[in-house]
């Protein structure tokens, strides 16, 4: 490993950090977290914005170039634009993005854009208000999400990526509808295969649908061609209807994993650095940070134990590291 690059034992260059700023969420999506019973972090357990920014500055000296802010739902944490501004002022950070369910986005879009967020990923699992209520288990969410998307476009966010987690029997009959949206709006709709956690094992076992099946359904409408995705396309593969302003992406962690090109680590809201979303491996950065220690050896140690691939099994919590909800790691 050189001074300016984080290279793991499998030759993968790590330059991307996903930062969870909270474990809380204002929705309770069926594939992500249980309705109740999660042990929420206490305020003193959360990294402060200053601590997060310090970790980012340390990691940029090791080769970090891209940051994504996640949750839980990041917009439920107060004064998030303050953190965005701190990170955007780090000269080495070339790309700063945000994942959100957009329920609170309408009132924060301009502030986030002005603070330095460049791109957005928005979770939207149905185009039908009643289904959004059913999947999110929070009635009235759909109009707020759409208002948030309109505000994001007005604020100048581009590209806007729409993340759709596929659940058989709940939204798979809308695959074609989501694809058609890309003919009308410059959205990049990405279908995502459901990943198993303790809260969704029944869904994972019985209602999983692969992106291969989704693509077959879309191709019955009209031929789609492989295309280069938008900036920051990560593991997604993209396709497009001829002449469409948007694209159709697929993210396949279960049917065709992309671990061989993984370029990221994850920082949890309480300061655990995880080399993989799933699994039990993590390094506590909060304790040495608050003790005034140099973080570089801890980050190097985490990089060196980054696994070759995840060990997820559909319908099983083996390999998930005991996670109950994706919100616990900023999935």
* H or E segment and range at residue 132: helix 129-136
C-alpha span between 69 and 296 (Å, rounded): 21
Q: Is residue 1 part of a domain?
A: no
Residues making up the chain, counted from first to last:
331
Which tokens go with 159? Answer: 């590209």
pLDDT in the model for residue 315: 55
pLDDT in the model for residue 204: 67
**69 DSSP β-pair partners:** 19, 98
pLDDT in the model for residue 2: 43
Q: Is residue 125 part of a domain?
A: yes
Q: Is residue 45 part of a domain?
A: yes
Host domain of residue 315: 6-328
Q: Is residue 215 part of a domain?
A: yes
Which tokens go with 19? Answer: 């930062």
Number of domains in the chain: 1
CATH at 268: 3.20.20.70
Strand residue runs (E) in 180-290: 187-192, 225-227, 237-240, 247-251, 264-267, 272-274, 283-284
Query: Cβ distance 174 to 126 under 8 Å?
Result: yes
pLDDT 10s digit of each residue in the chain, 331 long? 445 689 999 999 999 999 999 999 999 988 878 888 678 899 999 999 999 999 999 999 999 999 999 999 999 999 999 999 999 999 999 999 999 999 999 999 999 999 999 999 999 999 999 999 999 999 999 999 999 999 999 999 988 999 999 999 999 999 999 999 999 999 999 999 987 776 666 776 778 899 999 999 999 999 999 999 887 657 889 999 999 999 999 998 777 777 888 899 999 999 999 998 777 789 999 999 999 999 999 999 999 999 887 656 565 555 555 555 566 555 5
Find, among 302, 309, 255, the residue nearest to 283 by Cα. Answer: 302
pLDDT in the model for residue 194: 82
Q: Is residue 128 part of a domain?
A: yes
102: left (phi over 0), alpha (psi -120 to 50) or beta: left
Q: Is residue 247 part of a domain?
A: yes
Q: Is residue 255 part of a domain?
A: yes
Q: Is residue 180 part of a domain?
A: yes
Terminal Cα-to-Cα distance of the chain (whole angstroms): 27
């Amino acid at each position: 490993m050189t001074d300016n690059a984080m290279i793991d034992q499998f030759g993968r260059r790590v330059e991307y950090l996903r930062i969870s700023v909270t474990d809380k969420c204002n929705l309770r999506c069926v594939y992500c977290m249980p309705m109740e019973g999660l042990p929420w972090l206490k305020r003193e357990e959360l990294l402060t914005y200053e601590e997060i920014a310090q970790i980012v500055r340390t990691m940029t000296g090791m080769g970090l170039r891209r940051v994504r802010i996640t949750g839980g739902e990041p917009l439920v944490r107060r004064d998030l634009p303050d953190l965005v501004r701190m990170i955007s002022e780090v000269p080495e950070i070339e790309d700063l993005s945000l994942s959100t369910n957009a329920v609170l986005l309408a009132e924060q879009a301009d502030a986030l854009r002005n603070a330095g967020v460049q791109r957005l990923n928005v979770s939207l699992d149905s185009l039908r208000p009643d289904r959004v209520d059913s999947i999110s288990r929070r009635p009235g969410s759909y109009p707020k999400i759409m208002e948030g998307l309109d505000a994001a476009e007005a604020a100048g966010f581009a590209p806007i990526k729409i993340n759709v987690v596929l659940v058989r029997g709940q939204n798979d009959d809308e695959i074609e509808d989501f694809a058609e949206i890309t003919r009308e709006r410059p959205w990049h709709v990405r279908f995502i295969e459901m990943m198993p956690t303790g809260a969704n094992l029944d869904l994972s076992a019985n209602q999983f649908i692969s992106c291969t099946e989704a693509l077959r359904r879309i191709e019955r409408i009209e031929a789609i061609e492989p295309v280069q995705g938008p900036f920051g396309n990560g593991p997604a593969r993209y396709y497009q209807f001829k002449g469409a302003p948007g694209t159709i992406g697929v993210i396949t962690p279960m049917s065709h994993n992309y671990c061989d090109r993984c370029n990221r680590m994850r920082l949890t809201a309480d300061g655990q650095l995880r080399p993989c979303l799933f699994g039990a491996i993590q390094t506590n950065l909060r304790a040495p940070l608050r003790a005034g220690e140099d973080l570089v050896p801890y980050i190097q140690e985490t990089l060196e134990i980054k696994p070759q691939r995840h060990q997820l099994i559909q319908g099983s919590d083996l390999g998930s590291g005991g996670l109950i909800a994706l919100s616990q790691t900023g999935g």
